[in-house]
Amino acid sequence: MTEHEVILPKTGIYEGDVVLVEWLVDEGARVSAGEPIFVIESEKVEMDIEADTDGWLHREAEPGLEAPIGTRIGVICPTEAEHRQIAAGP
């Protein structure tokens, strides 16, 4: 599989934990590069984060998660079939 990780990104010079405020798209939704897919909050800012590739979104974290920058919160699968396989679990 060639899924693309969705991570909590660094926002400027801030190095602390960030909060996943909300998902802007549903589980399994088709997303396009540049489309806002979730909102994060750091110590100083709340911002929309865009998909950086096209595909189908599989969410792995719930809103309210507070975690370090770089934490994986989901994946974007290149095909709907790959998304279904990941969503079904092991």
Domain that includes residue 32, residue range: 4-88
Q: Which two tokens stand for residue 25?
A: 């798209």
From first to last of its 90 residues, the chain has per-residue pLDDT tens of: 588 999 999 877 777 899 999 999 999 999 999 999 999 998 878 999 999 999 999 999 999 999 999 999 999 999 999 999 998 887
**Could you tell me which of 72, 85, 51 has the C-alpha nearest to residue 8?**
72
Q: Which two tokens stand for residue 66?
A: 């507070």
β-pair partners for 67: 18
State how far the Cα of 18 lies from the Cα of 30, in Å rounded to an integer.
25
CATH code of the domain covering residue 12: 2.40.50.100
**Number of domains present in the structure of the chain:** 1
pLDDT of residue 1: 54
pLDDT of residue 24: 98
pLDDT of residue 89: 82
State how far the Cα of 85 lies from the Cα of 67, in Å rounded to an integer.
26
